[in-house]
Structure 1
């Protein structure tokens, strides 16, 4: 297959990646697109991310950049702006995280999903928000936010698990009885009527056009994977629990060969931890745990970063880039980006640290 990637020209600033370094856009400003998602169309890549000030609240919205070569990025403005209306769910001071954009061929619309926390409520809302646009650059129009799959049991839930136990709500955190109840669906039952929690999330569109919403749920203790409706604007009744009680967040999904792969992180707030990886022959599972994909020095902290997306480079076979954030809670706008190649070895994703690298050299054997 002939590559559609346009390699960086000599007159542009970058022709390689330097993970963790300051990364300026074509205007000379550090790229401000954290917790990012990516979309490709007609030779152009689009990078959507959280615009950060010194703190973590949303005062601008979701910013979008575009690039032909993945090295040099042009700031194209705000794709989804926060609202000045204090009654809006996406008013200034809310929390907008992990924006992901997908294109719907049936409706010719671009769909933006994200994690939303309402203003002055901390992380209590645990909602997912959706917006729609006519162009990958936006502007996107906000539609709504909600907790998914209200009144619907997961497909991998037994009849016995659907039975409510009034005593389990009294269990103390981290006790043995609480852990057992958690794995058995304690929070799934609790949130059944109002909808399941949705924090860190991503969206994956399969080869057949079906789209899946992957989210950290159940107080961040369990992953949920749900099939979206044909227009990608809502949830079907098809969803599953993944790794109950496994404490996974920051999901990133990609496909290679016969397998779907997922990379996540553990729960340590803004601090890094050891990544996890999983694989399955179906998006709805079952998912097999594969351990930490990061290898070598710094692997126990995923090279001081947290996953946000895995990009499959257009035109190259099995050329996947692990994309992660190196958060800076003392000054969020200074957060850095760690992009590293993923290799599949013995059916498992492997990520090694490289100080500086480029796509052509790293994936040369795939041309």
Structure 2
């Protein structure tokens, strides 16, 4: 993030009070604060419906993309919403960035499942590129596809390009020759979580099963490195293993280079950032809509090796990530970041709440995310 973003922090100290709301929806009167447990409305007073999302910064404006979730039910009926803000405080509804299709049989027809949309900008092509997790209508979570849409403007509308599994016919580069040569009889591994099954998963049981059609891609995020290279990080292998795949120079495809990390670790909801040359990733476990303890990993290279650390969460309900699940880490200014999470409410997913908390670093250089009932950006 450019140094000129530092000025944003000064603005936010004065402005954030108007976007932080108490549970009854009234603006917080303290001024200069974020209330993570509050109600988040746009400038028109309408509840922000942008779940599992991420934020793009472009030419002085922030764009928040997220899932439009229904008041009742589960599947996608509208598409991906977009909100914009000059100050991370006053959010204007820009409309539906990517709408579902009314045509039966389309990948994104009404009733599909569109999750975890993330948008990045390609300076070379001058295109805004959206990737998201897609499940086909009526197929449950069977498809496990990565889907692509592009636009000439940040808020869209985005043009749907297509979807599919990741890197068909290609092995991860950190899979050994012995593992690649192993043939598996899937009928022998119908019972999960046995020691024999775990060993098979570690050695690539599901990679081999899905090799021809490509790797599964569910909960996901995107990351653009300092050199402009972009990466797709996603939960794969039946949500058992994280994979990191390099995107092509136009960000609209995969190069074929990818790795798998923590096989069998059951990680999802990845959120990644880079601080002082070190890559950090925060994930959750897989417990459905119920919150669980966050996991944290680090690496000196995007290609690993990755090391697991204790959860960075500190405070009440830290063992449950304060009731939330990670979705994105937003860099703002030099060495300052905001951890973003969703508090899922399955009885009415539209009204799932948001948690935004600052990330600080302790004396050992480890990220710490401490619960605060209210906070300002001078942390």
User: Would the TM-score normalized by the shorter structure come out above 0.5?
Assistant: yes
| RMSD, aligned CA | 1.4
Distance in structure 2 (CA, Å) of the matches to 1:56 and 1:47: 21
Decide whether aligned partners of structure 1 residues 11 and 266 sit closer, same or farther in structure 2, where only a CA change above 3 A counts. closer
Matched, 1:255 2:274: yes
Q: Which residue of 2 aligns with 1:22?
A: 39
Gaps of 5+ in 1: 363-367
Distance in structure 2 (CA, Å) of the matches to 1:169 and 1:222: 21
Q: Is the 8 A contact 1:290 1:348 kept in 2?
A: no
Q: Which residue of 2 aligns with 1:365?
A: none
Q: Which residue of 2 aligns with 1:148?
A: 166
Q: Which residue of 2 aligns with 1:122?
A: 140
Distance in structure 1 (CA, Å) of the matches to 2:46 and 2:329: 24
Gaps of 5+ in 2: 21-31
Please state how far the C-alpha of 1:4 moved relative to its aligned partner. Answer: 3.6
- Where do 1:176-191 residues align within 5 Å? 176-191=195-210
Cα deviation, 1:175-209, whole Å, max 9, x if unaligned, reads 11001100111001111111000000000000100
Matched, 1:320 2:337: yes
Q: Is the 8 A contact 1:277 1:349 kept in 2?
A: no
Distance in structure 2 (CA, Å) of the matches to 1:267 and 1:237: 27
User: How many pairs align?
Assistant: 359
Q: Which residue of 2 aligns with 1:104?
A: 122
Decide whether aligned partners of structure 1 residues 70 and 174 sit closer, same or farther in structure 2, where only a CA change above 3 A counts. same
Cα deviation, 1:76-102, whole Å, max 9, x if unaligned, reads 100000000111100001000000000
Distance in structure 2 (CA, Å) of the matches to 1:67 and 1:103: 17
Please state how far the C-alpha of 1:358 moved relative to its aligned partner. Answer: 1.5
SS of the equivalent of 1:302 reads helix
Pick from 304, 308, 312 the counterpart of residue 327 of structure 2: 308
TM-score (normalizing by structure 1): 0.95
Please state how far the C-alpha of 1:10 moved relative to its aligned partner. Answer: 9.1
Matched, 1:44 2:61: yes
Distance in structure 2 (CA, Å) of the matches to 1:175 and 1:10: 50
Q: Is the 8 A contact 1:305 1:326 kept in 2?
A: yes
